[in-house]
Amino acid sequence: MAVSTTAATVEEAAKMTVERVREISRNAGVLSLSEFPFCAEDVEKLAEQAMNDACTGANPKPVTKEDIIQVFMTAYNDAPVPAGAN
């Protein structure tokens, strides 16, 4: 079950780790964001709610509403994180 990243680059190791977490999540029955009962049109309101959440201000990296929308849409589409998005 372990993932060996010894010979991998940092980027390869990160991708392998993400895939392993996805595999473990699927095996445990954890739903992906796209399986939750909301539609992409709800993302705007969800992003507004996230911006108003007290925890958002404690994020170590300041975020904008657009950042949150991108996170939701990336997760909703089960897409890879865009390069440079960190």
Give the type of residue at 9.
T
Find out whether 68 and 50 touch, Cβ atoms under 8 Å: yes
Domain boundaries, the chain: 1-30, 32-81
SS3 state of residue 43: helix
Q: What is the pLDDT of residues 14-47, one digit of tens each?
A: 888 988 988 999 899 988 777 777 777 888 999 9
Evaluate if pTM is beyond 0.75: no
Whether the CB-CB separation of 9 and 30 falls below 8 Å is answered with no
pLDDT in tens, 63-74: 999 999 998 888
